[in-house]
Chains A and B, each alone.
With several copies, the nearest count.
Chain A
């Protein structure tokens, strides 16, 4: 039974990774699960400099999901390399670095630094954080600027590039195409959805930032549709995510067109989710007589 998939020139032993920002830098979960069983470990978004992030409260629970406005707190490239890279580089599975910047040049510079580091599995360009003005929405909802970011990083590095798209667009197709044309090796679909919750007793937003990103099972049907739409227009692989809790969810994303999947919010409440998804995927393949996990990708039968 083959579970391995390709993301550009990167081979994953199985299609199940974690979603950036929901798995820290890997080391935090090492006591609870064997990271070497995963397809890849994806780290929290990193920009060139350390970032303090937003004031608290930064997350709030909502129906079948959560809101977050962390504000991309992070140690910066140097801090990351010093503090977390020694652990990550010893893993047997690839580490994918989620990066962002406030300008095209900063994206490129961060890409250059990780290219120079050696041993990085892939770079994921986060152009879709809903909680950051510059660096988030401004690239993710503007086809031209999205292209610039991807092209600038492409020029710098031969590392596989994954462009993480925003769900907050009228149609994801032009963004998917733009990323592909600018040289992205894969797409990550999708980031969190702009949303808000208000505490009616205090009359304050539940997040200090006012608004935040909605994630978890509640957004799955939206994310499935985006993956399906993106898969119709691009040839590069798609990493599907948004509310995955179990193997059935992962398979649904793959049928919609995803080559790999990422587990995000579910890590918080059930850290074993990734391993359960991998086990469930094997079981599904067995039950359905599938020899290669890639047979699942895009296998939904739609009239149109």
Chain B
């Protein structure tokens, strides 16, 4: 974890409202693991002070890149920034994915929207190839199909409107694939919370392990503010908490520190919003 003011190398539109931003960070780039994120302060923002978290998409030499979607003031301001302008970055942050081992479990990656960013770095770093399921509402939400293919992965595309790949939800081909076989397979997912929840349920139904990268609002990004918590199962040990604090056998853990990647079976979905 380092803090640096970094220069933008390039910042280009990918499709529609998705952009790719490359920054130069010689000291940070080598430290990055798949599933980790960068906490970015958008310096030109006017009266919005907080940093914004983005998964790290690619690492190349002394640069890393993010793949972002414009959704609000921060991302919209980033989208207007140009090469040479500066951002403040704290990275790498968080507990990332367990990188599949050669000859180990076959990774099935499930990615929705900007979730493809984190999945790409995982695929790239994984010596064990597998299948990647990418889904989105429309064709423009499918972001790095060619890049996954170039890595030699089997890419299954779905769009809700059928404008690209199969029509439907990303979980449909995933279920089909798991019906074929679950043996030695492990799920990795990043995307909208609804999708993660569905993948969590599928993992449970098919009894396959799954690692999910959770998307919670963040403030500090480093574990001090307790903004980004999600309910995680806890062993009901000899804790001295008052009874109502122990109900349900879970505690809040930090997405920015214990996560963003959690094992699906640890998450207490009933308690999440």
Contact = CB atoms under 8 A, between A and B. Distances in A.
A and B co-occur in one complex? yes
Contact of B224 (A24, A50, A58, A216): A24
A55 B222 contact: no
Given A56-B217, A59-B219, A66-B219, A78 B240 contact: yes
Interface string B195-228: 0000000000000000000001101111111111
A221 interface: no
Report the contact-size class of chain B (Cβ under 8 Å from the partner).
Answer: 35 or more
Contact of A58 (B50, B223, B226): B226
Given A61-B48, A265-B49, A56 B220 contact: no
Question: Looking at chain B's contact residues, is the secondary structure mostly helix, strand, loop, or mixed?
Answer: loop
B239 interface: yes
Question: Looking at chain A's contact residues, is the secondary structure mostly helix, strand, loop, or mixed?
Answer: loop
A73 B227 CA distance: 10
Contact of A268 (B47, B50, B239): B50
B29 interface: no
Contacts of A217: 47, 49
A262 to B, nearest CB: 14
B50 A52 contact: no
Interface string B69-102: 0000000000000000000101000000000000
A68 interface: yes
A271 B48 CA distance: 16
B55 interface: no
26 contacts: A24-B222, A24-B225, A28-B224, A29-B222, A44-B224, A44-B226, A49-B240, A49-B245, A50-B245, A51-B245, A52-B245, A56-B230, A56-B273, A58-B229, A59-B217, A61-B48, A63-B47, A64-B49, A66-B49, A68-B219, A208-B273, A268-B221, A268-B224, A270-B88, A271-B3, A271-B90
Given A28-B222, A44-B224, A51-B245, 18 more contacts: A22-B224, A24-B222, A28-B223, A28-B257, A31-B1, A31-B2, A55-B271, A57-B273, A58-B229, A61-B50, A68-B219, A208-B273, A217-B47, A265-B49, A267-B220, A268-B219, A268-B220, A268-B224
